[in-house]
Amino acid sequence: MRKLTFLLTCLFLVSVGLVNAQSKSISGKVFSADDGQPIIGATVRVQGTAVGTITDTDGNFRINFSGNEKKLVFSYVGMKTQEVEATNNMRVSLASDSKLIDEVVVTAVGIKRSSKSIGYATATMNPEDALGKSQPDFLKSMQGKVAGVDIRSSQGTPGAATRINIRGNSSFFGNNEPLIIVDGVPLDNSQVATSNQTSGGGAYSNGFSSLDPNDMASMTILKGSAAAALYGSRASNGVIIIKTKSGSVNTAKKKLEVSLSSSWSTENVANLPDYQNTYGAGSNFTYSNSNGSWGPKFGSAGNDSVPVQNGDWTKYYPGSFPSSKKVAYKAQPNNVKDLFQTGLVAENSINLAGGNGKSAFNATLSNMNNKGYVPNSKYERSSISLGGSSNLANGLTIHGSMIFSNTSQLGSQFGENQVDGASSSFARTLFLARNWDLAGLPYETPTGLPISTNNSQYDNPLWDFQHNTVTTNVDRIMANFGLDYQILPWLNASYTLGTNVQNLSRKEIIDLGSRAVGGVGQLKTDKYRNSEFESTFLLTAQKDFLDDLFSVKVTLGHNLNERNTARQAIQGSELIVPGIYNLSNTKTQTVLTDETSQRRLIGLFGNVTLGYKNYVFIDITGRNDWSSTLPVANRSYFYPGVTGSFIFTDALNIKSDIFSYGKIRAGWAKVGRDADPYSLVNTYSINLPYNNSVNSATLSAVSKNPTLQPEFTHELELGTQLEFFKRRLAFDFTWYNKISTNQIAKVTIPASSGYDSYYMNFGKIQNKGIEIDVTAKVIDTKDFNWTLHYTFTKNKNTVLELIDGVDRIALSNVLSGSINPYLEKGMPFGYLRGTVNYRDENGNLLIDRSTGLLIKDPNEKMVGDPNPDFKMGLGTTFTYKNFFLTAQVDWTKGGDIYSTTVSTLLGRGVTKDTEDREHTWVIPGYYGDANTGKPLLDASGNEIANTTAVTTNDLYFGNSFAINSQTEWNVYDATVYHLRELTFGYNVPKKLLTKTPFGSATISFSGHNLWYWAPNVPKHTNFDPEVNSYGTSSVQGIELSAAPTTKRFGVNVKLTF
Amino acid sequence: MKMKKILFILFISTLLVGCNGWLDVNKDPNNPQDVPMSLLLPSVELNATYVLAPGSGSLGTGLGEDLGVYTHQLSTREAANVYGADGSEYYLRNAWSGMYISTLQNLDIIITKSGESNAPYYEGIAKVIKAYMYSQFVDVFGDVPFTEANKKADGIVYPKFDNGVDIYPALITMLDDAIAKLKTTATVTVPKTDDLIFGGDVTKWIKTANTIKLKLYTQTYNQKGADKAAIGAKIKAIFDNLATTPLIAATADGFMFPFVSQRTPDNRHPAYGGTYEATQKTTNISPWFFEILKGINPVFSGIVDPRIPYYFYNQLKPSQTGKDGNKFEYRVGGFASIYFGSTGPDNGAAQDKSQTVYGIYPCGGRYDQGDALTVDKSSGTGAAPYRFLTYADRLFLEAELLQAGIITTTPDGNDAKTVLNAAMVEAFRLVDYVAAKANGSQTIPVLTGATKTNTYITSILSLFDAGDANKKMEIIMTQKWISSFGSFVDQYTDYRRTGYPKMFDPNDATMAPSGFVTPPAGGDPDRTLPPVKVSCSLAYPRSLAWSIDEINVNKNAPKQKTDPSTYYVFWDPKKN
């Protein structure tokens, strides 16, 4: 540490010395001749000397030189170099050089680099493209558009978290989502779950959704470790760098520009199953008021009416029923559809921006309101962003921004209804017996207690939507302050200090009368505060040598990071007075959590880029971190990286109109990672007092480890970028191999050790894959343009090592005895393991002779792999004069999903899949011995084929293929095709606007998720395998009665003044 | 200009210096690194209870929930039906982690701490609980981690499994050691209210330790090649030293965990929440058990057990139709349930508001005064103790020892009938004892001394007189089985040791002719109940599978038992 301080200090002393030698100063500004916009990062050099500088974020420069030199040389990648006589306040326009088109890419810690010099894959998203697409969730609007990025939705209710993952899961138990940097400060994207999502809880949101897409200026995705290494510990899953409009104010001189955008969309459930309307409640064609629709045929003799399913209906609403207290036994074809409503998404935003060449500001005000198709569900986001920037006369640039956002989410509770004390709002919602008319009958008693066809088994969903709710409010403040100073023509210093504070408060209500918590009511309050401070100092030196033959850029940086969390969750049990939902109205209060945590990190890093003739580049990075969470002896760790790029078309001069550009790149980097706070020393937890009088404590079941080491991820990536036909066809290919070793994880250890888990360094996991990105301007004429954008993502994940002798470790405890994701050597991350049936040596099912059904194997086995084989997306845009049409489709191939929705639809006999039922079935297989799992043999030693017939009801409700079956039958291939987006719009011609106050006007119509097809799920379930019950966690491929996905239609208007 | 740059340098330098102190923020502010023994003992006692007790509510709980089905006092549609509770079964996994993590780990900390701080009573109590809990685990699983368990501090992350036959003697030594510690006097640090079981009464702990020894010796005499004389001698040694090392000798001496009526945090009997508070009830009373108590079953034909209203609560009046149209597979008057191994059409029918549930004795539910309430959380109290080992259990052990001829005299008499009589009297007194503890505001008649109690006992004793040696043993074990309703672990052990009581078997031609059982005629006022098809393809499990969690991650664990019907605990007479 001291050594580095000394080095840095020396560097400054040197620079001070150089300052003294200067004598004359000229300032000016560099523009692009194409669009008049200032050029950032253009090189300005005094002709014939080594003195030079680069233009700042506004294109301004100031250069010092001795009196006898006359000319300045201006150069910029992709632009023609110019030599201009030096005058004060000079303004220089650079014309683009078609042979040398290159763009500037924002890389780690905000370092801007020409894309030529980059030796790793990056991607950019234009946030504008996400607007006006009937999709309020920005992450979801990226689906299929970026190669290498896997985006998965969770539930179809407003605000539900969206998971983003780049290049696979590299951490066993840690967060596998990329680091998100907003205006230089990390954004806490965690999903705060108050209740376990297996047995309840809401469709919780995550941090990303509090960002306003209307205020986003740019988004860069650094996919690999080589790209992200300078960000340090949290970058091993890639980085998403977002610049907000407020945080990247440009001091260009421009008049005040006001943009207004508005969009309105309707929202409906994407698709419901095709229900059968032939049979109602009962079993084996006999009526009973049960959940399964296996009862008698509608209209069959003796089955015209049935008793009202719940005495409460006739008791409280006697007028609605005949005196017989019977209702017709008939199909209710729309009984599920009628539980839902048409939702709405309304989004309005106003943006104001302006500047006078010295100072500028940006302000964005936005509001988005999404009412879901589930009654009483909504998500609202309001945000105010303000940003400003000023170039002071002394050469210092000051900029800063402040963003405030508030989100509020309201929704119902989900999970596996069968878990004791749980109540899922979707417990029966999609599986209503075909004769139940829930929407046509009152859902509650006059005093607000639920009435359903069977109160003890499920709460009436309409009641549930209104009464068992989760309300979450999040206030987020992101603020940052920055200074930028050009110390010397070749030396720049910049400093940013930013903070990101999130305050979440939540109420989870289980109302009086619910089947959950014994009907006495419960309230959970959860308050979570997270704050992060990030300070980054950068010193950048840049110089060209030997007449631009060589270029050198050196960046040294210092980074401080502090993260604080505080959480307090309290459970109030037994509501006293109905309708009042605060802790004061509960009989007893229990503290669920009351914790704070703090972690700190210091990083020092450096980056050297060497260029030769602007076609060979070598980039070397190194970072050393000091983390508060590791043992003192191990808290310092260093990790290097090296990348290179080679523009072979330039080097070999083989460019032509057909083969326009060719680059190959390679990168290798190592990224270190620290532990969670407080992972080193064992602690006790204080328990709730017995009988409210005797206090007690137990040793924590997690064994801590005072000898933890940092973990490291190594990644090698190779890629090429090829462009053809005057760059109208661009092809980008990347191959990577990422290996994470020595992981710090709370590894599951046998209970007989005294603990359930142990913090240790172990294991090895590999993610290997390819990413392909193709852009084609198929037709490029004045009036008609057609472009295509194709992405392909394939990631293969393998656990290479676990712990010697340990077969497997559960990734999470989801549903014991049914399904759990596991880690196992040689297997993919989080593969699904569950119960299976016995088979003989040839793989034939063994059948229980007495029942004709399958026999459970007491040993669990692999039943699925949630990781898809590959994903691809295809986007297309047509423009004809002022009309445009865009569409986006994607295809996820493979991956498995455990679905209780599908198994319940089949097991309850409600869809057309099980309508053909008036005969028995013989399951193909051979008789087996349930004790040994071996086939039974006849006198001559042969297996005996099964001849025991079972009913259709038992086929789907016994130890067979749906409900009560083994897990293997409830796992489906999740291959799915989606038509994600379709937008048709019109840009009003400028000449029509001359007499209006508008500078531009655009109107468009859009649709989202208009069609999907999952070929390998039972046909009539119409199940969209994209849903998931565990939001952003690493548990994927498990769906427990989740709310289905949505589809939307909308109209969007954008106006500028 | 120059000034500004110097300021810049100073600014940056301040950021960099002193970072060592700045990083020292990793001490957990939320949880203590040490606590006194008096905080550990109450959690250990509670957690040990959860390992064994039945219960399906939010408390989860342990082995009893499945074993009650295996001993045919309960029936269910869950995994335990047809002996299907394998290593991935929830209650079994819960019990396993509750045993080693929540219980033994903290017991070992108490033992270490008591040695360091000269607190022998804590050590003695901890060792009694530890020995008892290990014995229960050996009885249920056979081989379990013992010598290497809970030794992570010594670097053992993957403990080996020890054979039960080697563990038992170590437990006897542990109990002797515990008794010695409990007999020391004048200690400073003594348990008081933190000892939830006996409130720091060390004499009761000594009685418990000694009775556990008696039980362990008794459990071993039936194994093949047992040296019965040697076992008898060891038991005699216990009986000969009662003056200094007494046995449990009164109802209130019983080794029981006192649950209370407090709901939040839930310190009620775990079966109470699972039955009375859960709207969807998963635990039924087995018709087999009901018919034995009712005198319908040939084993005690015609003899009606007066404990029925204390044991079961009927949510229906005898002539009442099923609530909300509930249909039944099995019903006799107010008693409604489902069969073990049933594949009948009404097995799955909802009957939460109509089915018969636990009464006051097993879990602090409601005494059945015939009011046929739809039970909810306030129908009872949940304040019944979990009974580990009672005075009645001790007397039944003595009766068994006399009947088996292991010993010829016991402190309570020298013939099996006398002691059986005492055991049954005590069994009824125990019901009264529990009812008094768990009663909310009901008027509950006392069983002890009541005419019907005496009539019942007399009838059983005449059956005993008339029976041969096997029948006598069957009566002792059946009475013990009835008395221990709610404490299912020892029942499972007793059945495997002695073959008694008779358990329902769907494959038995007498019990289920042609695979069908027929509910008693006229039991359901709504309809004539049809015969129900029953089947069970799995043979009786002679031990339970190990928790899959342990097998998955313990590299030193044996391979999972694929067929528990052939995996015997060392004392099992079927073991070769």
- DSSP states along B320-371: PPPGGG---SEEETTEEE--TTB--TTTT---TTTS-EE-HHHHS-----S-
Q: Which of residues 121-160 of B touch A (CB under 8 A)?
A: 144-145, 148-152, 156-159
**C-alpha to C-alpha distance for A86 and A477, rounded to whole angstroms:** 45
Contact partners, residue A892, CB within 8 Å, separation at least 6: A868, A871, A974, A975, A976, A1026
- The distance from CA A312 to its chain's CA centroid, rounded to whole angstroms, is 45
Whether chain B has a CB inside 8 Å of the CB on A946: the answer is: no
- Mean pLDDT, residues B533-553 taken together: 93
pTM of the model: 0.88
Q: Which of residues 684-703 of A touch B (CB under 8 A)?
A: 684-701, 703
Structure confidence at residue A21 (pLDDT) = 41
- For the cut 50, the answer to whether the pLDDT of residue A98 exceeds it is no
Calculate mean pLDDT across residues A858-869.
93
| Chain A interface, best mutation among B2, B26, B77, B197, by max A CB count within 10 A | B26
Chain A residues in contact with B96 by the CB 8 A cut-off are 751
| Interchain contact B322–A (C-beta under 8 A) | no
Of A690, A850, A860, the CB nearest to B515: A850
Mean of pLDDT values over A444-459:
91
**Which residues 68-97 of chain A have a CB within 8 Å of chain B?**
none
pLDDT of residue A803: 86
Mean pLDDT of A898-905: 94
CA distance B140 to chain A (A): 16
The phi and psi torsions of B84 (rounded to 5 degrees) equal -95, 10
pLDDT at A263 over 80: yes
pLDDT for the residue numbered B8: 57
Q: Is the pLDDT of residue A3 over 70?
A: no
Interface subset of A 435-454, CB within 8 angstroms of B: 454
pLDDT at residue A77 in the model: 65
Residues of A in contact with B28 (CB under 8 A): 677-678, 681, 683
- Give me the mean pLDDT over the B47-67 stretch: 90
* Cα of B575 to nearest chain A Cα, Å: 18
| Cβ count within 10 A of residue A172 | 24
Best mutation site among B3, B7, B16, B94 for testing chain A: the one with the most A CBs within 10 Å? B16
Contact assignment for A627 to B23 by CB distance below 8 Å: yes
Estimate to the nearest angstrom the gap between the alpha carbon of A94 and the chain centroid.
40
Contact A750 B145 (CB under 8 A): yes
Angle ∠(B137,B143,B149) on CA atoms, nearest 5: 75
- Using CB atoms, which residue from A290, A595, A680 is nearest to B349? A290
Do A374 and A340 contact (CB within 8 A), yes or no? Answer: yes
Q: Does residue A153 surpass a pLDDT of 60? A: yes
pLDDT of residue A1028: 82
Give mean pLDDT, residues B42-67.
Answer: 92
Q: What percent of chain B has pLDDT over 90?
A: 84
Tell me the C-alpha distance between B4 and B25, whole Å.
34
Nearest to A558 among B16, B96, B152 (CB): B16
A76-85, A514-523, A632-641, B230-239: the lowest-pLDDT one? A76-85
Q: Which of A52-61, A356-365, B91-100, B238-247 has the lowest mean pLDDT?
A: A52-61
pLDDT higher than threshold 90 for residue A42: no
**Cβ separation A703–B33 shorter than 8 A:** no
Q: What integer is the mean pLDDT of A222-227?
A: 88
pLDDT score of B11: 57
Looking at residues A739-752, what average pLDDT do you find? Answer: 90
A644 CB near a chain B CB, below 8 Å? no
Indicate whether B502 pLDDT > 80. Answer: yes
What number is the average pLDDT over the span A895-909? 94
Tell me, what's the pLDDT at B6?
Answer: 54
Looking at the complex, report in whole angstroms how far the Cα of residue A930 sits from the nearest Cα belonging to chain B: 6
Give just the sign of the alpha carbon dihedral A312, A315, A316, A317.
positive
**Which pLDDT tens digit goes with each residue over A972-1006?**
999 999 999 999 999 998 888 888 888 889 999 99
- At A261, the pLDDT band (50, 70, 90 cuts) reads very high
What is the C-alpha to C-alpha distance for residues A664 and A148, in angstroms, rounded to an integer? 18
| Contact residues, A window 320-359, toward B, CB-based 8 Å cutoff | none
pLDDT for residue A35: 65
Quote the pLDDT of residue A487.
87
Q: What is the mean pLDDT of residues A854-881?
A: 93
CB contact under 8 A, A755 and B101: yes
Q: Residue B2's pLDDT is what?
A: 52
- Average pLDDT of span A1050-1055: 93
A5 touches chain B (CB under 8 A): yes
Between chains, do A817 and B89 touch, taking CB under 8 Å as contact?
Answer: yes
Identify the pLDDT of residue A253.
63
Q: How many CB atoms lie within 10 A of CB A733?
A: 18
Q: Of A400, A951, A676, nearest to B26 (Cα)?
A: A676
Q: Does B10 touch chain A (CB under 8 A)?
A: no
Topology adopted by domain B2-26+34-200+543-566: 1.25.40
| pLDDT, chain B, mean | 93
Whether residue A695 and residue B39 make contact (CB cut-off 8 A), yes or no, is: yes
- How much is the pLDDT for A1? 38
Using a pLDDT cut of 70, give the percent of chain A over it: 96
Q: What is the pLDDT of residue A19?
A: 40
Please give the C-alpha separations between residue A989 and each of A780, A994, A1005, B281, in angstroms, as whole numbers: 20, 9, 18, 69
The mean of the pLDDT values for chain A is 89
CA distance A625 to A603: 4
| Set of chain B residues whose Cβ sits within 8 Å of the Cβ of A856 | 84, 86
pLDDT at position A67, please? Answer: 64
Average pLDDT estimate for A1024-1037: 83
- The residue with greater pLDDT, A197 or A525, is A525
CB contact under 8 A, B152 and A590: no
Mean pLDDT of A294-323: 91
Q: Tell me the CA distances in angstroms from B499 to A170, B21, B229, B494, one per residue in order.
A: 55, 69, 22, 7
pLDDT band at B134 (very low <50, low <70, confident <90, very high): very high
Measure the CA–CA gap between A587 and B235, rounded to whole angstroms: 52
Mean pLDDT of A192-196: 86
CB contact under 8 A, B538 and A931: yes
Q: Is A706 on the interface with B (CB under 8 A)?
A: no
B14–chain A Cβ distance below 8 A for any pair? no
Q: How far apart are CA B282 and CA A476, in angstroms?
A: 45
Tell me the domain boundaries of chain B.
Answer: 2-26+34-200+543-566, 387-501
Å between B318 CA and nearest CA of chain A? 20
- CB neighbours (10 Å) of residue A301? 7
CA–CA distance, A830 with A667 (Å, rounded to integer): 28
CA distance B532 to chain A (A): 13
Tell whether the model's pLDDT for residue B1 goes beyond 50. no
Residue A817: the pLDDT is 74
Average pLDDT over residues A1046-1053: 94
Please compute the mean of the pLDDT values over residues B199-211 and round it to a whole number.
97
- Burial class of residue B417, CB neighbours in 10 A (0-12, 13-18, 19+): middle
Query: How far is B546 from B565, CA to CA, in rounded Å?
Result: 13
- The answer to whether residue B115 scores a pLDDT higher than 90 is no
Candidate from B159, B267, B550 with C-beta closest to A691? B267
Please state whether the peptide bond connecting residue A1025 to the residue before it is cis, i.e. omega within 30 degrees of 0: no
* pLDDT of amino acid A50: 67
Cβ-based contacts of B105 with chain A (< 8 Å)? 698-699, 754-755
Q: Is A750–B376 a contact, with Cβ atoms under 8 angstroms apart?
A: no
Using the predicted structure, report yes or no on whether residue B27 has a pLDDT greater than 90. Answer: yes
Which two structure tokens, joined as six digits, stand for A92?
């220089």
CA distances (Å), A55 to each of A31, A42, A61, A110, A607, in order? 10, 5, 5, 15, 20
| pLDDT tens figures, A906-923 | 999 999 999 999 999 999
Instruction: Kindly report the backbone phi and psi dihedral angles of residue A190, in degrees, each rounded to the nearest multiple of 5, phi listed first.
Output: -70, 155
The pLDDT assigned to A116 comes to: 83
Query: What residues of B are in contact with residue A517 (Cβ under 8 Å)?
Result: 58
Say whether residue B116 is in contact with chain A using an 8 A CB cutoff. no
Contact of A942 with chain B, judged by CB distance below 8 Å, is answered with no
- What pLDDT band is residue A858 in, cutting at 50, 70 and 90? confident
Q: How confident is the model at residue B3 (pLDDT cuts 50, 70, 90)?
A: low
pLDDT confidence of residue A13: 36
Residue-level pLDDT at A876: 95
Quickly state the pLDDT bin for B10 (edges 50, 70, 90).
low
Cβ–Cβ contacts within 10 Å for residue A1018, how many? 20
* pLDDT surpasses 70 at A7: no
Residue in A700, A911, A1001 with CA at minimum distance from that of residue A274: A911
Q: To probe the interface with A, which of B264, B532, B560 has the most A CB atoms within 10 Å?
A: B264
On whether the CB atoms of residues A1008 and A130 are closer than 8 A, the answer is no
Q: How many CB pairs under 8 A join A and B?
A: 325
Cβ contact A691–B260 (<8 Å):
yes
Strand ranges inside A881-934, DSSP E: 883-893, 896-899, 920-921, 926-927
CATH superfamily of B387-501: SusD-like, tetratrico peptide repeats domain (1.20.120.840)
Whether A246 has a pLDDT exceeding 90, the answer reads no
Hey, is the C-beta of A809 within 8 angstroms of any chain B C-beta? yes
DSSP string covering B492-531, please? HHHHHHH--S----TT-TTTSGGGEE-PPTT--SSSPPPP
